[in-house]
């Protein structure tokens, strides 16, 4: 008799649970204007942060229910001490097929080799500009050279599939589309342009500053010639394209062309709150049951119940608001200061 195969866990829109973004800290060593523009925030309590063993335990439960891709995020994940130890623990979870990390790159130089040795598969580095003065203005920190060295360290450590994420903001860095793409080509990294989004920390967001996918393609087309879309079946947020010389790049068009219909991502904050959407205002507390001794079955039941009721389509709803002229800053700074989990940097971008 063939073994029984569990039916996949689906939400109300038929979307499976596959991608888990695990934030390991809400702290960051940059202050990017589209994410974390203030100097100080209400931070998560240290005693509330999940230990590495607790994160591993939750990840195991998530894999029981279909998760096979895990991405470590922050804040800035490399600020969490001994991160390679967490990577080593997660690399032993057999069902995790893809173990990746998104970082701002500042601290990569000292850690890239250890992370690779611990079993991390892939690294994505945020890089919005190639100009040190602009980097300083955008992030309010003088760390551009450290990021470039970090990118080099990723290559030297032997990682495959390096990606560079650039949030494109009109009047800030939209004159660097071509330079960023050329840079990616030189170092064999795939650049992904991200439309400026109106999520939690983007308290200075305005629609006028969004450079749409269509405009990005048009501008790159003028420089490089015919750009072909790459047809692939994927729930990944980036649509991929190819230049005439074979260079590939991605665009994440969450603002103008949301992809909520295929979204299989959820987010675990560093203090164990599980969010089913980047825009969700409420999450599900997994830390309390975990620390109260819940069994694997009990945690599985909690996650199953949350996901099977999921109806989130945050980016699409924001776009609907735009159609009736009501799209503005999502959450004002006062609201963010009261609840740190509303921040994009707390729920891993």
Residue 97, number of CB atoms within 10 A of its CB = 12
Q: Any contact of residue 263 with ligand SF4 (CB under 6 A)?
A: yes
Q: Any contact of residue 196 with ligand SF4 (CB under 6 A)?
A: no
Q: Any contact of residue 265 with ligand SF4 (CB under 6 A)?
A: yes
How far, in Å, CA of 193 to CA of 239, rounded? 10
* Least spacing, CB of residue 312 vs ligand SF4, in Å: 5
Closest CA relative to residue 96, chosen from 21, 189, 192: 21
- Lay out the site mask for ligand SF4 across 159-178 (x = CB under 6 A, - = otherwise): --------------------
Q: Which of residues 280-299 bind ligand SF4 (CB under 6 A)?
A: none
**Token representation of residue 123:** 């690294």
Q: Any contact of residue 278 with ligand SF4 (CB under 6 A)?
A: yes
Among positions 283, 314, 340, 349, the unique one binding ligand SF4 when judged by CB under 6 A: 314
Q: Any contact of residue 251 with ligand SF4 (CB under 6 A)?
A: no
Q: Any contact of residue 21 with ligand SF4 (CB under 6 A)?
A: no
Give the contacts of 263 (CB within 8 A, at least 6 positions apart). 15, 235, 277, 312, 313
Stretch of 30-38, 220-228, 260-268, 298-306 lying at the interface with ligand SF4 (CB under 6 A): 260-268
DSSP H or E stretch at residue 125: strand 122-126
- The residue among 164 and 260 lying less far from ligand SF4, judged by its C-beta, is 260
Size of the site for ligand SF4 (CB under 6 A): 12
Q: Any contact of residue 349 with ligand SF4 (CB under 6 A)?
A: no
- The residue among 57 and 345 lying less far from ligand SF4, judged by its C-beta, is 345
Stretch of 30-38, 215-223, 227-235, 254-262 lying at the interface with ligand SF4 (CB under 6 A): 254-262
How far, in Å, CA of 26 to CA of 41, rounded? 10
How far, in Å, CA of 44 to CA of 22, rounded? 15
Among positions 259, 281, 322, 333, the unique one binding ligand SF4 when judged by CB under 6 A: 259
Residue 311, number of CB atoms within 10 A of its CB = 10
Cβ atoms of residues 308 and 12 within 8 Å: yes
Q: Any contact of residue 277 with ligand SF4 (CB under 6 A)?
A: yes
Q: Any contact of residue 260 with ligand SF4 (CB under 6 A)?
A: yes
- The residue among 12 and 295 lying less far from ligand SF4, judged by its C-beta, is 12
DSSP 8-state class, residue 10: B
DSSP H or E stretch at residue 144: helix 144-156
Contacts of 295-301 spanning 24+ positions with Cβ under 8 A:
296/57, 296/60, 296/61, 296/64, 299/57, 299/58, 299/61, 300/61, 300/64, 300/65
What is the DSSP pairing of strand 284-285 with strand 273-275?
antiparallel
Stretch of 36-44, 100-108, 258-266, 328-336 lying at the interface with ligand SF4 (CB under 6 A): 258-266
* Least spacing, CB of residue 2 vs ligand SF4, in Å: 34
- The residue among 43 and 259 lying less far from ligand SF4, judged by its C-beta, is 259
Closest CA relative to residue 83, chosen from 125, 24, 151, 138: 24
- The residue among 116 and 265 lying less far from ligand SF4, judged by its C-beta, is 265
Q: Which stretches of the chain bind ligand SF4, using CB under 6 A? A: 258-260, 263, 265, 277-279, 312-315
């Amino acid at each position: 008799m063939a073994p029984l195969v569990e039916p996949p866990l689906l939400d109300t829109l038929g979307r499976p649970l596959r991608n888990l973004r695990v934030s390991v800290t809400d702290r960051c060593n940059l202050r990017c204007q589209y994410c974390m523009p203030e100097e100080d925030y209400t931070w998560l309590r240290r005693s509330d942060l999940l230990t590495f063993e607790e994160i591993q335990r939750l990840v195991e439960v998530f894999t029981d229910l279909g998760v096979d891709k895990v991405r470590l995020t922050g804040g800035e994940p490399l600020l969490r001490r001994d991160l390679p130890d967490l990577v080593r623990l997660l690399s032993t979870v057999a069902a995790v097929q893809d173990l990746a990390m998104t970082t701002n790159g500042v601290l990569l130089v000292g850690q890239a080799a250890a992370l690779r040795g611990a079993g991390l598969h892939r690294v994505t580095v945020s890089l919005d500009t190639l100009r040190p003065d602009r980097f300083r203005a955008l992030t309010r920190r003088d760390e551009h050279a450290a990021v470039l060295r970090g990118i080099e360290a990723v290559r030297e450590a032997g990682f495959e599939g390096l990606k560079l994420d650039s949030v494109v903001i009109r009047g800030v860095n939209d004159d660097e589309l071509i330079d960023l793409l050329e840079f990616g080509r030189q170092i064999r990294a795939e650049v992904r342009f991200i439309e400026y989004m109106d999520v939690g920390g983007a308290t200075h967001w305005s629609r006028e500053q969004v450079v749409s996918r269509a405009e990005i393609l048009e501008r790159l087309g003028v420089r490089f010639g015919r750009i072909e879309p790459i047809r692939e079946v994927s729930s990944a947020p980036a649509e991929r394209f190819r230049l005439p010389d074979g260079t590939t790049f991605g665009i994440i068009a969450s603002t103008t062309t949301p992809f909520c219909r295929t979204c299989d991502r959820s987010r675990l904050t560093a203090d164990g709150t599980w969010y089913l959407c980047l825009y969700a205002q409420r999450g599900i507390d997994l830390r309390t049951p975990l620390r109260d001794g819940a069994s694997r079955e009990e945690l599985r039941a909690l996650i199953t119940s949350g996901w099977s009721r999921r109806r989130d389509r945050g980016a699409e709803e924001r776009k609907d608001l735009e159609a009736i002229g009501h799209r503005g800053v999502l959450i004002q700074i006062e609201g963010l200061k009261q609840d740190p989990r509303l921040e994009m940097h707390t729920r891993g971008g």
